[in-house]
Structure 1
Amino acid sequence: MSDDGVDRARRHEVEEGRLVGAASGFDERARSGPELEFYGGEWVSFLPVVIFLGMIVVTTLWWSSISDGALWVPAFVAILVPFFLARDKSRFADVVVRGMASREAIIPVVAWIFAGVFSRVLRDTGLADALARVATSMHVGPTIFLVVTFVVSALFATASGTGFGTIATGMAVLYPAGVLLGVHPGLLAGSVISGAAFGDNLAPVSDTTIVSATTQGVDVPGVVRSRFKYAMAASALTIAALLVLPLWFHGAAQGVAEGQQNLVPLVSLLPVAVTIWVALRSGDIVIATSWGIVLTAMTAIAVGLMDVVQIDVPDAARPALLTVPGEGLDREVGGVIYTGIDSMLQVAVLALLLFGSIAVMRAGRGDVRLLNALESVARGPRSAEFTIAAMITALSAVMGLNAPAILATGASFAKPLGQRFGISPYRIANLMDAISCTLVYSLPWTPAVIFTISFARDTSAPLAATDATPFVVYAYAMMAVMIASILLGVGRGDNIAHAVAAMEERGEPVPEVYRRILAGASRRDAVTAVHGDRG
């Protein structure tokens, strides 16, 4: 999910260099020994993942808790226990610190903090209530609003390339408005996440798009064009499901409270539009939300929806950016800005702890062990694609992240498998990207889901992770589409001629299987002639 701090014009070349370098680093780890050794061998480096997943099931599913501790304690214990199994305790500590302080850990945390404040400022202007009133007056029902939520979120995510920015905006504006209209809260949150997943998969500036194309040595525009068919098929299934699901799952219309039935808060749509425009131009959620925070706050203050500061104002009629209640040592500084930051602490702390665990797994070569085990089952084009899909599924599920899963798999495993069985590099890139945008958006412990429910915590319809995950329809639709495409052999020949021409232009050796396919041989005959394997 793209929340990088570089402008869009330079994003491609910056990311290409960084991601190719990271892929080379994975290759070196695959060939060399582990950086971190454990009593019991390399598989022990998977212990943080096992402990976290085991405890999260207990705290969130069995005990039905959505508290900070329900997430933080499992993540912390997952790091603490393996410490005592590490042969070099000092190196273990260094790996954990490097993981938690890494760029891929810090960038989302920074983006979440800014997004949290922006979301809170928007929410406290009363924009959601005003939107709900307009929708009611136009007789927009819950089902139509649900579909609109998915489409708007998908368009924003595709244009901006930021899944987290989409979730922040959607949960700040569309979620509370939909709840007031009587849309099922879980379905509503799932529609926002679904739109974010759509954009993360299809956007040319998404980090998953860039890394999937880069690891296969193909161009981003060609990849986006060739994956359009998968995204459209999954979107059609998603919209069809969203039209039907409200028949069984529906919320209770709450209406708009007296005193809030005015349309003044709609002026906040102007800074929202500016924020979206900045996001599209810059591709940077921090830049966009910084403008959004300032412009929305200034607009709200100008029309009397919000105060700048309230000092010792009990039962204030409207929110303020800063509040100072209490006396003596009980004096506190709060307000809209503080509440926005505080709402992101849960997901920010969880992410830092999870990146510590991921670093331990990588340093112990647990991910290499997993990929080696999965690679051995590939016997033909279909089984090779299923193997690649399983690699991405497993890594993205345990990491809760999609770009690192593609990075770990793409150049070292997926590319050689694709070349061996004559599968187009464009198809491999699309397979990895599409599969990576499924479970990372629909498993209850992933940052995307925790980020989403963080916005719902202090609304009239708070959510547990498991309230939203069954309704991330796009993720399940895309998984079904990609499984069907594997079974039917869709896309295996996409742009092979273009890919071969690019290899020759770069001076890379062209696999003989590709040459035979371009000469007119069937894929099966080409593979059999070169490797003796039949798919």
Structure 2
Amino acid sequence: METKRGSLLALLPFVVFLVLFIGTGVVTGDFYKIPVVVAILIAAVIALAMNRKESLAKKVDIFCKGAGHPNIMLMVIIFLLAGAFSEVTKGMGAVESTVNMALSILPQNLLIAGLFVIGCFISLSMGTSMGTIVALGPIGVGISGETDIPLALSMAAVVGGAMFGDNLSFISDTTIAAVRTQNTKMKDKFKTNFFIVLPAAIITIAILVFLTMGVETNITRHSFEWTKTLPYLAVLITALAGVNVMVVLTGGIAFAGVIGLLNGSYDWLSLLQKIGDGVSGMQELAMLAILIGGTVEIIKNNGGIDYLLHVVTRKIKGKKGAEFGIAGLVSLADLSTANNTISIIITGPLAKSIAEKHNIDPRKSASLLDIFSSCWQGLIPYGAQLLAAAGLASISPVSIIQYSFYPILIGISGVVAILIEGRGQARA
């Protein structure tokens, strides 16, 4: 498959966005100096102003196509449901009771490591990193509030656990996209992928235990009402059962609302108000996802994505070089799109061509697509995962990166799997 050279200039909107959002934060020390929505909105305007060969009406149509992509719309709906679930459970005391229960059961030096492991199981069963972050984020915030553990560390543990399942779950969009584009079987890809990232998960647990062993805690053992923990338990059980994330979150909202009504935390009007507050709190994230989707589609139409593909593939030599090419290809796409599913969909066909040309096992190419897209998705401060975690904790997404051990380690594991011939390719 030949790739078009594309256009470097087409990437200008993305460069402007990075300069405004990240550059301004680095210079001023305040990453909220320019709201991220304003930064991407400016980038979108620049993208629409480019390519004078096409009419504004046509470019707007292209923008709306990208903004309304099914993956983007699903993300928006999950954002809104997530916000409602978080607010309703918080209002009826579920967070406080769940935190108190966790603090009563877990040894103090295993709180954060335990949070990561729970996140791994939830995300593996739920198939979505966003649903996992929403379910566990408030617990991470509560644990930090009751201890001297940095809030950014707690949220990084939550994000790390969420990315574990996002990369491996049989019902994850990213996994499905990787398997379909590489024409391999889901169970075979899972085996290959699992053995590559397992060391990363084990090392992450060890690091989290080590970091929290010496942390001073000021935990007071509080009593808790187990009935208030039921919404989270219900979410965990339904997630482990593989129920669709939208059903999980909708059911969680309803369940928490009923308990709140029964214990007097809410009346009907206050419950509806809480749901509205939760949805409103996620409107910025929803708008950000829509604007990024539209802007990326314009960049793609103007040749920006083709340029990235050309740069990555023009000097590929040998099998290992081809595997690094696939890794670099999906990495650049994810950095550009801030969406690991879309990045796999965009680069998957070219990755398949590279894999066939260089005799790369499709299980390996599918795993590389999924691993490296998930690696960067768990690290970029403008990605949905870090933005959601930061929003729940009211901190900067950049502050979480310093503790993002698992996303970094799966990237390293992926590199090692490429360098060590034959490793990471489990027999079907």
Partner of 1:416: 353
Q: Distance in 2 between matches of 1:381 and 1:121?
A: 52
Q: Distance in 1 between matches of 2:185 and 2:41?
A: 40
Partner deviation per Cα, 1:22-72 (whole Å, 9 max, x = no partner): xxxxx89x57x9xxxxxxx73222112111111111343333445495201
Partner of 1:238: 204
Deviates more, 1:274-283 or 1:170-179: 274-283
C-alpha contact 2:135 2:235 (8 A) present in aligned 1? no
Partner of 1:321: 271
- CA change 1:283–1:358 in 2 (3 A) is farther
1:469 matched to 2:383? The reply is: no
Q: Distance in 2 between matches of 1:66 and 1:338?
A: 27
Q: What is the Cα deviation at residue 138 of structure 1?
A: 4.7
For residue 222 of structure 1, what is the amino acid of its counterpart? Answer: D
Q: 1:61 aligns with which of 7, 13, 26?
A: 26
Q: Gapped runs of 5+ residues in structure 1? A: 1-26, 34-40, 310-319, 323-334, 458-462, 499-535
Secondary structure, aligned partner of 1:263:
coil
Q: What is the Cα deviation at residue 168 of structure 1?
A: 0.4
Q: Quick one: higher RCO (CA 8 Å, sep 6+), 1 or 2?
A: 2
Q: What is the Cα deviation at residue 445 of structure 1?
A: 1.0
Q: Distance in 1 between matches of 2:277 and 2:218?
A: 26
Structure 1 residues 51-130: aligned runs within 5 Å: 51-65=16-30, 67=32, 69-87=34-52, 88=54, 89-130=56-97
Partner of 2:163: 197
C-alpha contact 1:423 1:492 (8 A) present in aligned 2? no
- CA change 1:303–1:67 in 2 (3 A) is same
Secondary structure, aligned partner of 1:145:
helix
Q: Distance in 2 between matches of 1:430 and 1:403?
A: 13
Partner of 2:336: 398
- CA change 1:307–1:490 in 2 (3 A) is farther
Q: What is the Cα deviation at residue 486 of structure 1?
A: 1.3
Structure 1 residues 343-492: aligned runs within 5 Å: 343-412=281-350, 414-457=351-394, 463-491=395-423
Q: What is the Cα deviation at residue 132 of structure 1?
A: 3.5
C-alpha contact 1:202 1:231 (8 A) present in aligned 2? no
Q: How many residues align?
A: 426
Q: Distance in 2 between matches of 1:487 and 1:279?
A: 36
Q: Distance in 1 between matches of 2:284 and 2:95?
A: 24
For residue 50 of structure 1, what is the amino acid of its counterpart? Answer: V
- RMSD over equivalenced CA pairs, Å: 2.4
- CA change 1:254–1:94 in 2 (3 A) is farther
Larger Rg: 1
Q: What is the Cα deviation at residue 395 of structure 1?
A: 0.8
C-alpha contact 2:122 2:239 (8 A) present in aligned 1? no
Q: What is the Cα deviation at residue 373 of structure 1?
A: 1.8
For residue 196 of structure 1, what is the amino acid of its counterpart? Answer: A
Q: What is the Cα deviation at residue 203 of structure 1?
A: 0.6
Q: Distance in 2 between matches of 1:289 and 1:399?
A: 26
Q: Distance in 2 between matches of 1:376 and 1:162?
A: 34
Partner of 1:263: 224
TM-score by length of 2: 0.92
Q: What is the Cα deviation at residue 387 of structure 1?
A: 1.2
Secondary structure, aligned partner of 2:271:
strand
Q: 2:257 aligns with which of 279, 297, 300?
A: 297
Partner deviation per Cα, 1:170-216 (whole Å, 9 max, x = no partner): 11334323432332211100000000100011111111111111111
Secondary structure, aligned partner of 2:380:
coil
Partner of 2:149: 183
Q: What is the Cα deviation at residue 282 of structure 1?
A: 5.6
Q: Distance in 1 between matches of 2:381 and 2:61?
A: 29
Q: Distance in 2 between matches of 1:76 and 1:434?
A: 30
- CA change 1:180–1:345 in 2 (3 A) is same
Deviates more, 1:43-52 or 1:64-73: 64-73
Q: Distance in 1 between matches of 2:251 and 2:175?
A: 27
Q: Gapped runs of 5+ residues in structure 2? A: none
Partner of 2:8: 43
1:147 matched to 2:113? The reply is: yes
C-alpha contact 1:120 1:172 (8 A) present in aligned 2? no
Q: What is the Cα deviation at residue 254 of structure 1?
A: 7.2
For residue 18 of structure 2, what is the amino acid of its counterpart? Answer: L
Q: Distance in 1 between matches of 2:330 and 2:112?
A: 30
Q: Distance in 1 between matches of 2:380 and 2:223?
A: 39
